[in-house]
Chain A
Amino acid sequence: MSFITAYCQISEVTCSVNGNVVVQKNEQSVDTWFKQLYKELALEYPKFYKMDMLAQAGFLGSEFIKKGYPDLIPSYSDDEIALLFANSESSADTDIRFRDSYQDRKSPSPSLFVYTLPNIVLGELAIRNKFYGENMFAVFPKFAPDFFLQYGNIMLASGAKAVLAGWLGILEGRVEVSVFLIEENNGDGLPFNKENIIQCAGWGDQA
């Protein structure tokens, strides 16, 4: 049996972990919302600043989960945690910036191009956590809880002991992010099913 043992939701103004708000956006600050969240985590990871918003969203969601669950990474070997992410915008937010760099400014930026694929966030999470397991990114017209249920179960049936999953809805200022952890254990957490996936998403029934 598998369970959702932790989840993090990030909107344009709040960040919650396991249903409780942990950070509220400070409108007075000169820092961007994501920079505020990064500072809240008090990490030493300057690579964060080079990431695009999609990769930052996945990073922040997973780091907030790790913060509340410090034993997470050490309890598994390096290929036992699989990564499963999706959205409906693909990498459009960065695609637009990259296109501006070569079309308007006539100077294609390599550091932007690197992020014009939605699955780079998986690479960033793998690098950060030294994950060598399976990883998948899919693009859907709208939030797809069935996909997480089905593919998550396939991953757990074929060697993964845990799945770090998430929906990363990022486009031109819109932030609809939910990252959740699925583990095979003896009953702690929400049963891994469609209703609970929707509940962890937190923005109502979009299924």
Chain B
Amino acid sequence: MAVRITGLGIISAIGLTVAENLFSLENSRSGIAPVKYLDSKKDFLVGEVKRSNAELADHLGIKSLPISRTSLLGLAAAREAWGTNRHTKELRTGIISATSVGGMDTTEQFYEDYLDKNNPDYTVLKCHDSGNTTERIAAELGISGYINTLSTACSSGANAIMLGARLIEQGKLDRVLVGGTDALTNFTINGFRSLMIYDDQWCRPFDESRTGLNLGEGAAFLLLESDKSVRFSGNSTICCLSGWANAADAYHQTASSPEGTGATMAIQNAIEVSGLSALDISYVNAHGTGTKNNDLSESTAMINVFGDNIPDFSSTKPFTGHTLAAAGAIEAVFSVLAIQKGLIFPNLNYKTPIAETGLEPITELQKDQPVLAVLSNSFGFGGNNSSLVFSVYR
């Protein structure tokens, strides 16, 4: 059973709205640049949203401070996805968000002030936990029914979408905003550097010379509706979410198994749930972080599932950076745009195939393509592998 997607919202390094993101994707405009807004000690390459917190709060009309950057980004995207929909007692409405950082961007700042005895603002601590970011977004949008926050590392966004779809399918909700948000913090930059998987140069997913990822930040939401909800709202269906799956890798806390076991299962099961066959997939939006480990593991999984018929594939992380919990949602929006506009997005900054697999991603924008079904992968630390299948609405 497929679930309808009727709303999209996104904010990332390549744009503040769906239209801006699409423009950047069509024109190969990457958002990766030396860090500017975050107070960081070194000039790392990151995918920052090009607005300060003050500018975001102002634009969103936020009156009640404090508010974390993660909430600001999430609210911007959730508002765009919600659009002009109205609240009604007739429909059970929910919001499911995903985050890994939560409000840590503000507590980091608080901690420095606290250590320097620089009049720390204790109210900031209220924003710290992951659940709070979702509740703040829900409050701003007037959603009080089902509110949930997931945290499964880099697959969080995809799992939020999956949970929303299942709740609609099981008849627990009529419509639900699903997505994820994460702001850039020194915490995560330091962490990825300590694992030695942060690239000092622009990342090169699926390239033999790849040495790591660039972090990004952002948020994206989709509005999922049941048939009953759409009769009430009158919204047209952009496309469908038809397949989803989640599988463990059982290999390592932060690395994927070289055989891509978990990834293979997630991809296979998602395609199976969709009722389609592997040959029906027009495009794969890969997780493709640019680390030695993920790109090899993901390539192996694609070969396991698709054999000699690997669909056109690309990673869009050279555009946005790795946006952690938001990635699954941001890339879901890109997958929907691919179907809606008949586009296949390029894998920027690629030159040489990985020696062990020889797979080559798409490197130039493809237009006027019959994009009927898209597979989107998100593989997270903890061996949490999630895949989604989007397809045209018939």
Q: Are A79 and B265 in contact (CB under 8 A)?
A: yes
Task: Check B238 for interface membership: any CB of A closer than 8 A.
Answer: no
Q: How far is the CA of A30 from the CA of B235 in the complex (A)?
A: 64
Task: Check A190 for interface membership: any CB of B closer than 8 A.
Answer: no
Task: Check B357 for interface membership: any CB of A closer than 8 A.
Answer: no
Q: Are A79 and B104 in contact (CB under 8 A)?
A: no
| B-chain residues with CB within 8 Å of residue A15 when the two chains form the complex | none
**A interface bracket (residues with beta carbon within 8 Å of B):** 35 or more
Task: Check A192 for interface membership: any CB of B closer than 8 A.
Answer: no
| B-chain residues with CB within 8 Å of residue A102 when the two chains form the complex | 186-187, 190, 194
Q: How far is the CA of A89 from the CA of B382 in the complex (A)?
A: 18
Q: How far is the CA of A95 from the CA of B383 in the complex (A)?
A: 20
Q: Are B151 and A123 in contact (CB under 8 A)?
A: no
Task: Check B100 for interface membership: any CB of A closer than 8 A.
Answer: yes
Contact among A88, A99, A131, A136 with B131 in the assembled complex (CB-CB below 8 Å): A88
Q: Are B250 and A126 in contact (CB under 8 A)?
A: yes
Q: How far is the CA of A89 from the CA of B131 in the complex (A)?
A: 9
8 tightest A-B CB contacts, nearest first = A123-B382, A113-B191, A126-B248, A126-B250, A110-B194, A108-B194, A108-B190, A119-B382
The number of residues on chain B lying at the interface, defined by a beta carbon within 8 Å of a beta carbon of chain A, is 50
Q: How far is the CA of A155 from the CA of B257 in the complex (A)?
A: 24
Q: Are A103 and B111 in contact (CB under 8 A)?
A: yes
Q: How far is the CA of A183 from the CA of B172 in the complex (A)?
A: 23
Distance in Å from the Cβ of A171 to the closest Cβ of chain B?
A: 11
* A–B Cβ pairs within 8 angstroms, 17 of them: A79-B265, A95-B104, A95-B187, A102-B187, A110-B194, A116-B191, A117-B153, A117-B382, A120-B253, A121-B382, A127-B251, A127-B383, A135-B246, A135-B382, A136-B159, A138-B150, A139-B150
**Residue of chain A at shortest CB distance from B130:** A139
Q: Are B254 and A138 in contact (CB under 8 A)?
A: no
Q: Are B129 and A122 in contact (CB under 8 A)?
A: no
| B-chain residues with CB within 8 Å of residue A138 when the two chains form the complex | 148-151
Q: How far is the CA of A118 from the CA of B172 in the complex (A)?
A: 26
Q: Are A151 and B163 in contact (CB under 8 A)?
A: yes
| A-chain residues with CB within 8 Å of residue B186 when the two chains form the complex | 102
A113-B195, A117-B381, A132-B265 given; A154·B170 CB < 8 A: yes
Task: Check A33 for interface membership: any CB of B closer than 8 A.
Answer: no
Contacts beyond the supplied A103-B115, A140-B131: 16 A-B pairs with Cβ under 8 Å: A103-B111, A103-B112, A110-B191, A117-B151, A127-B253, A131-B248, A132-B249, A133-B247, A135-B246, A135-B382, A139-B131, A139-B149, A139-B151, A140-B148, A147-B148, A154-B166
